[in-house]
Amino acid sequence: MNNISKKRTHAVLIIVLLLLLNGCGEPQEPAVNQINKLAQNSQATDKGLESLANHEQEDMKLYNVILSQGKEKNSNVTGFLDQAAAHIQARRTILEQIEKASLKADEQAKSLQQSLLKHSFEKEETLSLAGKALEQYESRNQTLQMFIEAYGLGLDAEEQVYGSMRERAKTDLKEIKLAIQKRNVLYDKLTEIQEKFNSLTQDFNSSQEQLIQLSREG
């Protein structure tokens, strides 16, 4: 074989090798592992929601005290109102942390969606179930975004109630009642969103468990 032929052969081998290397890429992680990571990464969100719920219980007691004592014109609820304002700020801080965790989870879900398209080594049943779990997770996260927005409006309404109570000597009673009514309507809506979120969480958990069981069966 002459030198030109040898060079051509070497060039072909190099090209083939490069194609093989590019085709291999990084090792693909099993779909079940990636879905499990989504669940683990949502723990920050879950802890935030739990903390928010604990604050709500305490703040509801304070809210009822303020409304009860606020009916008496001569009662001084300023101390309670100051305490309520601090509690609202604490809940806003927690809500911001939940939102950051939610945005991070959304990015991870999009990354997983692209990854699943490349999982040619997985069984069709596994990929189908992983895709279903991912859709449920994304719906859950979208509902969480709705919850965050609605909760922020609820806190705004609560501040409005406390503001009217602080100035109740100058504020018409009807205006105070309207502020309370607005606050209650927003929190009723918030409860509906939370129920939907909990339902989607259960759906995702169920799909995750099925996927784990399927991976064990091989």
Parse the chain into domains and list their residue ranges. 30-217
Residue 117 phi/psi, 5-degree rounding, is: -65, -20
With pLDDT > 90 as the criterion, what percentage of the chain qualifies? 52
Percentages helix, strand, coil for the chain, rounded to the nearest 5? 85, 0, 15
Q: How many CB atoms lie within 10 A of CB 162?
A: 23
Report the distance separating Cα 111 and Cα 106, nearest Å: 9
AA letter at 32: V
Most confident of the following: 102-106, 134-138, 163-167: 134-138
Mean pLDDT of the chain: 84
Q: Is the pLDDT of residue 8 over 80?
A: no
Report the distance separating Cα 194 and Cα 189, nearest Å. Answer: 9
Place of tokens 């806190």: 155
Q: What pLDDT is attached to residue 6?
A: 46
Per-residue pLDDT for 217 more than 60?
A: yes
Residue 9, pLDDT > 60, answer: no
CATH class of 30-217: mainly alpha
Determine the average pLDDT of the residues in 175-199: 93
Q: What is the pLDDT of residue 218?
A: 65
Round to whole Å and give the CA distance between 189 and 176: 20
- What pLDDT is attached to residue 215? 85
| Closest by CA position to 87, among listed 183, 161, 166, 158 | 158
21: pLDDT strictly greater than 60: no
Kindly tell me if the per-residue pLDDT of 141 is higher than 90: yes
Token match 């060039």: residue?
11
Least confident of 4-13, 48-57, 104-113, 186-195: 4-13
CA gap 72, 4 in Å, rounded = 103
Assign 100 a pLDDT band (cuts: 50, 70, 90): very high
